Amino acid sequence: MTDVAAWPAASSAMAPVPYRVRARSVENFESATVWLEPIEQRVASPLPGQFMMLYAFGVGEIAMSVSGVPSSADGTIAHTIRSVGAVSKALHDADAGTVVGVRGPFGTDWGLESCVGRDLVIVAGGCGLAPVRPVIVQALARRSGFGRVVLVAGSRTPEQFLFRDEAEGWTQNPRLDAELIVDAAGPGWQWQIGLVTEPLRRLTVDPRRTTAMICGPEPMMRFSALALMEHGLAANDIRVSLERNMQCGIGWCGHCQLGPLLLCRDGPVVGYDVAAPLLQVKEL
């Protein structure tokens, strides 16, 4: 286990703050959620949609979206991590008591405060459900502050669905219009089969008072945004979360550049009016 006393003081945005894994929960065969609690110092509380830089001691550092923002005075932050490389595997496998480094929060957020009084349409595909989960949780906690709240969450298969039990509970919540959908399913799946764009095309919305938030693979976000624009939503009322290779988190290294944007600073959440022309350029 890492010696916390040996960690340098977090005197700059590049110095990680030591956090301890309080608990770990397996979400599916490739993803797990870890709850990180501060040991002494703590970082500022992230907003839904922002990301942190997580450091696995002796392995490396990666950007990771926040799947659960602190809701109590203890400062615990949740990250849902898919094991796809050396660093993500180390963080995914971290047992309770493991010390990791945390920097952040970084980037733009979903801007939930600007949506008070409006209808919300939340669209998530695959791992994209993790960054929008805090929006769902907070919208339900402050339900009277919003109009209609719609969730369309999709995955390739039921086995890959994140937060499966919680998502099934959302479908039973009368304060939320939730639909779950998978590309392919076997026996026991009682929800829809297909693409997330299919329920979006059937959706009835008031474009004058609706804000949409979309997170998932880029093709899914493009087609979901187009489906909503067919209902009359303006591109600047559709927010998407873009992902690139973020290495510093503060706009120094340039690895996350997308056209004129540095996504660690100018994103990851941007309006679709900003994202659409950038996503049409293959080289970007």
The one-digit pLDDT tens for each residue of the chain (284 residues) are 455 555 445 457 889 999 999 999 999 999 999 999 999 999 999 999 999 999 999 999 999 999 998 766 789 999 999 999 999 999 999 999 999 999 999 999 999 999 999 999 999 999 999 999 999 999 999 999 999 999 999 999 999 999 999 999 999 999 999 999 999 998 889 999 999 999 999 999 999 999 999 999 999 999 999 999 999 999 999 999 999 999 999 999 999 999 999 999 999 999 999 999 998 876 55
pLDDT at position 105: 95
Which H or E run includes 65? strand 60-65
CB neighbour burial string for 81-118, b if at least 16 within 10 angstroms, e if fewer: bbbeeebbebbbebeeebbbbbbbbbbbbbbbeebeeb
Order the strands of the 17-26 sheet from edge to edge.
60-65, 51-56, 99-106, 17-26, 31-38, 77-82
DSSP SS3 for 134: helix
pLDDT at position 72: 63
pLDDT at position 3: 56
CATH 3.40.50.80, the chain: domain bounds:
112-279
DSSP SS3 for 1: coil
For 174, other C-beta atoms within 10 Å of its C-beta total 5
CATH architecture label of 4-106 = Beta Barrel (2.40)
| β-strands 238-241, 269-271 pairing | antiparallel
Cis peptide preceding 277, ω within 30 of 0: no
CATH architecture label of 112-279 = 3-Layer(aba) Sandwich (3.40)
Q: Give pTM, 2 decimals.
A: 0.93
d(CA 141, CA 214) in angstroms, rounded, equals 20
pLDDT at position 71: 65
Amino acid letter for position 130: A
Give every CB contact of residue 190 below 8 A, 6+ residues apart in sequence. none
CATH 2.40.30.10, the chain: domain bounds:
4-106
